[in-house]
């Protein structure tokens, strides 16, 4: 376990006193052992959400509850955690069952994200809240600094609606234009139409909601360019 402990210490800045906690955090349930990382993942998930929320509360003082929620979601979503875990090369430290090893489980996003959360849970149990906070701030510092304006994290339909409401204009209408493909793999085309300014655009997607979002984005980009 020493090599894994050394690597985790190097990338997180935290050295475990009880390395058995780290070993458990790095053990996937496929390894057929009772001491896998799912309970630690549960704890780490809650802990990460709290620590990110606390940090955002203090550094984004002008954002409201909805903005803060969107910002937090962008930071704690699985793909972000998997990217961080991959950057830390945690995959090579994992203990996996033979099936997961053969299928490349050490690169699987869900497994990497879960392992990172489990490590945070293990750090909390091993050292307490402040060491866990320090690790989270270290791992998320770059992403925290690069966060966009919260408004840009809203989906296009919401942003378009707010753009129109702010100007006292009627809300858009979404019309289903076409559905193609087999029932299990349908493709949707939707038109987003505005009354004022008179404007419309179509969008496509694998579901009606995705097509509506695509159409709304096309309209919004036109409005923001000032073209109508």
Domain residue limits, the chain: 2-147, 154-225
* Positions marked active-site: 45, 117
Q: Is the pLDDT of residue 226 over 80?
A: no
Q: List strands edge to edge, sheet with 199-205.
A: 173-180, 187-194, 199-205
Give me the pLDDT at residue 1, please. 59
Choose from 43-47, 68-72, 183-187 the range with maximum mean pLDDT.
43-47
The backbone torsions φ and ψ at residue 174, rounded to the nearest 5 degrees and listed phi first, read: -115, 125
Q: Is the pLDDT of residue 123 over 90?
A: yes
Pick 225 or 180 by higher pLDDT: 180
Q: Is the pLDDT of residue 227 over 70?
A: no
Q: How far is CA 195 from CA 17, 29, 200, 227, in A?
A: 65, 55, 9, 15
| pLDDT confidence band for 3 (50 / 70 / 90) | confident
Give me the pLDDT at residue 164, please. 92
Percent of all residues in the chain with a pLDDT value above 70, rounded to a whole number: 97
CATH architecture of 154-225: 2-Layer Sandwich (3.30)
What fold, for 2-147?
Ribonuclease iii, N-terminal Endonuclease Domain; Chain A (1.10.1520)
Single out the residue of 16, 70, 75, 19 nearest to residue 45, CA to CA: 75
Q: Is the pLDDT of residue 228 over 70?
A: no
- State the average pLDDT over residues 37-45: 97
Judge contact between 189 and 183, C-beta under 8 A.
Answer: no
- State the average pLDDT over residues 169-198: 92
Q: Is the pLDDT of residue 58 over 60?
A: yes
């Amino acid at each position: 376990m020493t090599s894994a402990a050394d690597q985790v210490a190097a990338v997180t800045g935290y050295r475990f006193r009880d390395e058995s906690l780290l070993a458990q955090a790095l053990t996937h349930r496929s390894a057929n052992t009772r001491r896998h990382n799912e309970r630690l993942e549960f704890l780490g998930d809650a802990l990460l959400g709290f620590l990110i929320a606390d940090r955002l509360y203090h550094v984004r003082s002008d954002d409201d509850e909805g903005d803060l929620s969107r910002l937090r979601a962008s930071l704690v979503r699985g793909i972000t955690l998997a990217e961080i875990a991959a950057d830390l090369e945690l995959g090579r430290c994992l203990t996996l069952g033979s099936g997961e090893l053969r299928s490349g489980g050490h690169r699987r996003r869900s497994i990497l994200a879960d392992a990172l959360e489990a490590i945070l849970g293990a750090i909390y149990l091993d050292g307490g809240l402040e060491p866990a906070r320090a690790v989270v701030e270290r791992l998320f510092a770059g992403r925290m600094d690069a966060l966009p304006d919260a408004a840009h994290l809203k989906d296009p339909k919401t942003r378009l609606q707010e753009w129109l409401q702010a100007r006292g204009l009627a809300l858009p209408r979404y019309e289903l234009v076409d559905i193609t493909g087999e029932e299990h793999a349908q493709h949707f085309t939707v038109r987003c139409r505005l009354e004022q300014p008179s404007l419309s655009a179509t969008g496509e997607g694998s579901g009606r909601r995705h097509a509506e979002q695509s159409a709304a984005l096309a309209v919004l980009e036109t409005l923001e360019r000032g073209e109508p």
